[in-house]
């Protein structure tokens, strides 16, 4: 089973893409802090992607600086860098929960979750 739950702060402005004939797709980077075994605080950043209805929901509600909870799964994507091919981990989000709304946002209560019936 590949299931992931992670909380963090949206570290980059979400980017929404939907070319004619394609499915809606939204990406951003999620910043996460945790304590190491030695007690030091460590920051890590993960790329988050979401598709279909969840991307449409997130497009109007997610902004840089918001605290969110993400439920989804971990996958890998391939990135071509000049002469080498890299494999990068990526979180595919199926659900979001706003933990602390950023300012006043219309129609975005803190407990709202998008439908994930057709998430990729």
Residue ranges of E strands in the chain: 4-10, 15-17, 25-35, 41-51, 67-81, 84-100
Distance CA 92, CA 59 (A): 15
Where the chain has pLDDT below 70, the residues are: 101-120
pLDDT of residue 20: 85
Check: CB of residue 94 under 8 Å from CB of residue 54: yes
- Backbone torsion region of residue 56, taken as left when φ is above 0, otherwise alpha when ψ lies between -120 and 50, otherwise beta: alpha
pLDDT of residue 101: 57
pLDDT of residue 110: 40
Is the pTM higher than 0.75? Answer: yes
Distance CA 108, CA 68 (A): 12
pLDDT of residue 107: 43
Map residue 64 onto helix, strand or coil: coil
């Amino acid at each position: 089973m590949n299931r992931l739950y992670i909380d963090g702060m949206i570290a980059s402005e979400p980017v929404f893409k939907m070319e004619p004939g394609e499915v809606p797709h939204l990406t951003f980077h999620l910043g996460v802090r945790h304590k190491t075994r030695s007690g030091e605080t460590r920051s890590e950043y993960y790329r988050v992607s979401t598709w279909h209805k969840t991307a449409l929901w997130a497009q109007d509600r997610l902004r840089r600086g918001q605290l969110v909870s993400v439920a989804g799964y971990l996958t890998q994507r391939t990135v071509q860098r000049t002469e080498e091919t890299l494999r990068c981990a990526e979180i595919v989000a199926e659900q979001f929960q706003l933990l602390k709304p950023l300012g006043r946002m219309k129609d975005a209560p803190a407990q709202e979750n998008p439908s994930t019936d057709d998430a990729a």
